[in-house]
Structure 1
Amino acid sequence: MKLTHYLVLASSLLYPSVSFADTLLSWKPVSPSFDQEFDWLKTTSGEWLKGDLITLYKEELEFDSKEFGIQVINISDVTELYTKGEQSIRLNDGTLLSGKLIIKDNKFSVAHNGFKQSYALSNLLSIASAEGIELGYWNAEVNFGTNFRRGNSEQSDYTISAEAQRRTASSRFRSYFISNFSQRKSLETGKKQDTTNDQRLTGSYDWFFSPKTFIRLADYEYFADEFGNIDNRHTFGIGIGYKLIDIRTFSWEVSAGPSYQTTDYISVESGQNDKETSAVINLGMTTQWTISKNIDFDVDYQIKVVSEDAGHYIHRFKTGIEIDLIGDFDLDLTFYLDRIEEPKKAGLVIPNKNDYRFVVSLSYKF
């Protein structure tokens, strides 16, 4: 075989290898062929997710991936976003927009009825679906805690709570319910005796007319405490609030407003009225702090200034730590304090001013 034949054979064997290596070195991922049934999101790592955009609030974007479920992604980690339908969008200056949303090159565009507006991504405050998918506005949590004591004493304690929130680009509805029940069994008689039995239900609706200022259009609280001598207490009010600090990991807001309160007592002294009504000045403060990816800390303090016959000052304080466990389950460590400055005497007995407890519970978010 001639030398030229060897050269041709060697080059034919070598050429495919060189071509394949060059292909590997120059290969780049191809952008997906967009299916308009889904929203599409690209992260800074180059990965694409398809699914449904749920919401954006405090720089955290919730995206329901078709493959991986709900993902919480910081807006700084999003390089591209394309929505299939219209979104309700709020800017930092309070402006409300509606339309299909595109995020690209650190900017976002809103398209509606053939018109397109573009803004710097730093102007984006919040996003909520404008397609009428009601469940996309809501998040909720249920919580259960219990304690059993056996031996020289026999006692059972239960705490059940639930909360729900509906959030859009310009409004917020919040509701909270908690019930505490304790029962002790006498070792001498064998009879069970209730030692705690109280319930509280709250609800409020806020409308944000600027990113930090909101009007509380409705504020309601129901409270009953058998051992606090309160058969039922209803408070109706309105108010105004302001976010002193509102960043991704920390928020602090205050609120104030007038209310009206009615209270029915279980028992009173002879000649005393078993029902009291009072005007109320309601002051509140809430703080939420994301300590780490898996630990949240919150404080909620409310004080009602009422007439002396209705209690004078009514305090409600709640603080605790929430620790992420597995999936949607969390461990909650919560301290509660309720105080009535002038409790109503039940016959000859004056209820204690302070009612406090520490609860360890398991919660589920959905």
Structure 2
Amino acid sequence: MITTTRPLRFLGLVPIAFFCATASAASAAERPDSDTVTIEINAPWDWVKLTSGEWLKGKITALEKDSLSFDSDELGDQDIDWDSVEAIHSHTPLNVLLNSQQLYSGTLETVDGKLIIGSQGPIEFSDALRIASTSKRELDRWSGKVGAGANYRTGNTNQKDFTANVDLLRRTARSSIRLSYIADVFYDDGEETSNEHRANGSWYIRRSENWFWQPVQFEYYSAPLQNIASQWTGGMGAGVYIFDTDDISWTASAGPGYMYTRYEETPEGQSRTVDSGAFYLSTQYDQSLTDYMDVSASYQLTASNKDSGKYKHHGVISLYIDLTGSLDLSMSAYWDRVKYPQADSDGVLPEQDDFRYTVGVSYEF
């Protein structure tokens, strides 16, 4: 049962209120299993009740892939299994996308185990597909990580260098935009010995519990040590959720695309630019190992013509360990492979494989 607290209107009622409060506290002590909980309905925060009977106070930030994102001042950012939520009271309006692709906006309430969205409802909990903020501020739609670290790499070069990375997510009730960028730059006695850059972007539109649509997928890559001045890949496709639980998320997607490559050098008489139709296949795996440790792995295969390298592989596996509420220790391993690397003007072929190992710190916002 939820009761609403209100200020006393008359000072003359203070002794009576004190006596009643004392009696109520004594009664509660005699009945430790009481279901009565007092919450501040008009306070500037949201409430979530779990199936265990616990109440959480904070801010509902999103619902995606059956996981409710909840920001608590005391507990920090929490991902809660949607099946573990029994009741909700939101202070601010939210956008809710249903499995039927209907979009409703309003504050969230729970009545008789069903969801009320503003004046719409009752709606089964299982029919809610996504929840996102209704804020008109663009910054409120974004979250992400910014990190930096040191590398030790083997392959085309053996050295220690520096890396920086940015991962951004823009989320609405209907779709998500994911952007990432990683830079690897090192100077030795004033000479640049490493200068690699990779930027990725994807636009996801979730169509049901099981699949999503990717109208845009792109990648920019530059790796002079692999004789690639710049390489642009764009495409579109669709994907499925292989696993979609509170602890594990595993997706796979595929689709056609186009690749344009400009090489640093080529043998005499050979063009420095090539283009090709392409096809990509990618997968993303995320798992919460413990309350303070997560693992993430991704792999993408891009197929093109022989002049563009034929088969291009890119794989990453990362381990994140919470240091504080916003800081993580990150350890990552990267693998890149090109089936047919392009020879330079002297006929020297870069190695097919390139590896990087990174240890750093990332800030989450």
Scaled by the length of structure 1, the TM-score of the pair is 0.82
Report the 3-state secondary structure (helix = DSSP H, G, I; strand = E; otherwise coil) of the residue aligned with 1:31.
strand
Flag structure 1 segments of 5+ consecutive residues without an equivalent. 1-16, 149-153, 185-190
Q: Deviations over 1:300-332 (max 9, x none)?
A: 111111111111111111112111122211111
Flag structure 2 segments of 5+ consecutive residues without an equivalent. 1-21, 153-157
Residue 42 of structure 1: CA displacement?
4.3
Structure exhibiting the larger radius of gyration computed from Cα positions = 1
Q: How many residues align?
A: 335
Are 2:289 and 1:291 aligned?
yes
- Given that 1:55 and 1:136 are in contact with CA atoms closer than 8 Å, whether structure 2 keeps it comes out as no
Residue 18 of structure 1: CA displacement?
10
Q: CA RMSD in A?
A: 2.9
Counterpart residue number, 2:350: 351
Is the deviation greater in 261-270 or in 54-63? Answer: 54-63
Scaled by the length of structure 2, the TM-score of the pair is 0.82
Inter-partner Cα distance in structure 1 for 2:284 and 2:24: 64
Residue 223 of structure 1: CA displacement?
0.8
Q: Go from structure 1 to structure 2 and tell me whether the alpha carbon gap of 1:234 and 1:61 turns closer, same or farther (over 3 Å shift).
A: same
Residues 61-80 of structure 1: pairs in structure 2 closer than 5 A = 61-65=68-72, 68=74, 70-72=76-78, 74=80, 75=82, 78-80=85-87
Residues 310-321 of structure 1: pairs in structure 2 closer than 5 A = 310-321=308-319
Residues 241-260 of structure 1: pairs in structure 2 closer than 5 A = 241-260=239-258
Q: Return the letter of the residue paired with 2:359.
A: V
Q: Deviations over 1:143-197 (max 9, x none)?
A: 111259xxxxx9641011111011223211001100112344xxxxxx4543321
Counterpart residue number, 1:118: 122
Is the deviation greater in 19-28 or in 100-109? Answer: 19-28
Q: Go from structure 1 to structure 2 and tell me whether the alpha carbon gap of 1:53 and 1:310 turns closer, same or farther (over 3 Å shift).
A: same
Q: Go from structure 1 to structure 2 and tell me whether the alpha carbon gap of 1:328 and 1:357 turns closer, same or farther (over 3 Å shift).
A: same
2:173 to 160, 169, 174: 169
- Given that 1:84 and 1:100 are in contact with CA atoms closer than 8 Å, whether structure 2 keeps it comes out as yes
Is the deviation greater in 265-274 or in 292-301? Answer: 292-301
Residues 185-264 of structure 1: pairs in structure 2 closer than 5 A = 191-264=189-262
Residue 277 of structure 1: CA displacement?
0.9
- Given that 1:220 and 1:234 are in contact with CA atoms closer than 8 Å, whether structure 2 keeps it comes out as yes
State percent identity of aligned pairs: 29
Q: Deviations over 1:225-267 (max 9, x none)?
A: 1111111111121111111221111121111111111111111
1:54 to 61, 70, 84: 61
Greater RCO structure (CA 8 Å; 6+ sep): 2
- Given that 2:151 and 2:163 are in contact with CA atoms closer than 8 Å, whether structure 1 keeps it comes out as no
Inter-partner Cα distance in structure 2 for 1:76 and 1:30: 21
Residue 124 of structure 1: CA displacement?
3.1
Residues 84-163 of structure 1: pairs in structure 2 closer than 5 A = 84-92=91-99, 94-112=101-119, 116-146=120-150, 156-163=160-167
- Given that 1:41 and 1:82 are in contact with CA atoms closer than 8 Å, whether structure 2 keeps it comes out as yes
Residue 34 of structure 1: CA displacement?
2.1
Q: Go from structure 1 to structure 2 and tell me whether the alpha carbon gap of 1:62 and 1:104 turns closer, same or farther (over 3 Å shift).
A: farther
Counterpart residue number, 1:13: none
Counterpart residue number, 1:82: 89
